[in-house]
Structure 1
Amino acid sequence: MSDEIGDRPRHHWHLDFSGNKFTQFELPPYEILTEERRRKLMNFEDFDGEEALNEAREKYGDVGPIELIFCRQLELIKKYQKIEEEIIGIHLSTDSLVANLDHARDQHLLKARAWWITEELMEALSALYEYNDPKYLEELVDALHFATELCILSGIGPIDIEQSEVETTNHTEIVCNDFPMIDSLSDIVVEIAEIVRSLGMTMWQLRNKPWKQTQIPTDQPSFEQGLIQTYRLLLDLIKCSMGGELIDVAVIYLRKSLVNKFRIRSKY
């Protein structure tokens, strides 16, 4: 399939609380935009979901939704790591893609990902506050990109997510029982706050800050359990926001990943 921008009409989505559903509105055609604006405005709507899923399965095999996400993110990591090293000159202390959880520099890099997740979640929340801003769902998917990368760099794979017995029901039922027939913004605010709380307490386990002269070993089981819980909370929020299943989350993730691949090629 082609990764190039198509000629089909482009739409953005927003959550309509009065009608309890996502509605769409049309954006200006690409031809009247500058090249920079085209790269910036491109979103997952520019790529067909079925094509994105078929392309991924042809590449990675007939695997489950979470493994599809991890396989694609691993592909992106290898490309982005080279770019990051060229720009900021910081890289993991290890020779692999998995960080040393006790190394201060590696902890710093992991915490950077955690902050990027938080930024995306706040952008998603701000999109809902603006009401007509269409980017709520896309910002959640951006957070999923960073969360998947954080898992991979921490040595957590799809099987760890799938087989985990970490309990998230008490948190996600707040959203899942009502969404998409949701009555107010407060339910989503509570769920996003819980994701950020879980993420923050997980990062607290990485205690070797740059100014610390006495290094503290990481409680790896607690760290991994916290990160898996955070990841599953985020998956649940996206799934409930779409009113779909895990495969729907994987498809929208894959669609946005094609945007990121285009941006890498175009040096955005």
Structure 2
Amino acid sequence: MPEPDREPDQAVVARLRAAGCVFAEDEARLLIEAAGSPADLDALVSRRVAGEPLEPLLGWVEFGGLRLHVAPGVFVPRRRTELLARRAAELAASTVAKSGIAVVVDLCCGVGAIGAVVADRVPGAEIVAADLDPVAVECARRNLAPDRVFEGDLFAALPSELRGRVDVLAVNAPYVPTDAIALMPPEARDHEPGMALDGGVDGLDIHRRIAAEAADWLTLGGTLLIEAGEEQAAVSSALFAAFGLEPRIESDDDLGATVVIASAPAA
């Protein structure tokens, strides 16, 4: 990143500010850093002014203290998901302390942000990730061990030998109600894949599918963590309880995050 006192190109700042970019000077610095030539810079600024998200233009997003690769057309990890990643890492660390290893699955992994945070913080964790979106999978293979990132639909993508062995199942499934997608910022609704946003009528269609299978993949005492909207969390929690897991809800007001944490019985 450029030095803090470096003045960005004021013409770039002016273009970004005119397009409504609140942090125009900061964005200008980042785009100048990312550009390989004046022509590249002009193209990047034009795309940003047209409404493309900043992070894919830069080629990276900062998440959980890491710089992760992202590409145009993928779901960009949100800061609120750092709560889920932090709790997943803590659970994995506890398991490693007890048994020397923890099997962690980052399901609906997107670019692999949750798995990358766990891998960085818990060296003894075995990270496996999966997603349906091939573009996201390619990004995840740059952020995680590539041979442990799989493409496919939910649990069907995972190696069968993981069934009953997963200590931590971390999921950031789509949970936006279909009708609410139109109300999202254009950066998301126009430039991120619908499959990463659309959770069905009430936003919980994928939660239902995961709840129906999760217990079969968790080890005794294993834990599932899944992000939800604050108003959805009680319903999501009940879904996992109906399939034998023991759920609780955790929120972080600073991050605007809500996570359902559901544990399998220890015996």
For Structure 1 versus Structure 2, the TM-score category normalised by the shorter chain is: under 0.3
TM-score (structure 2 length as normaliser):
0.23
TM-score (structure 1 length as normaliser):
0.23
Q: Greater strand share, 1 or 2?
A: 2
Q: Greater helix share, 1 or 2?
A: 1
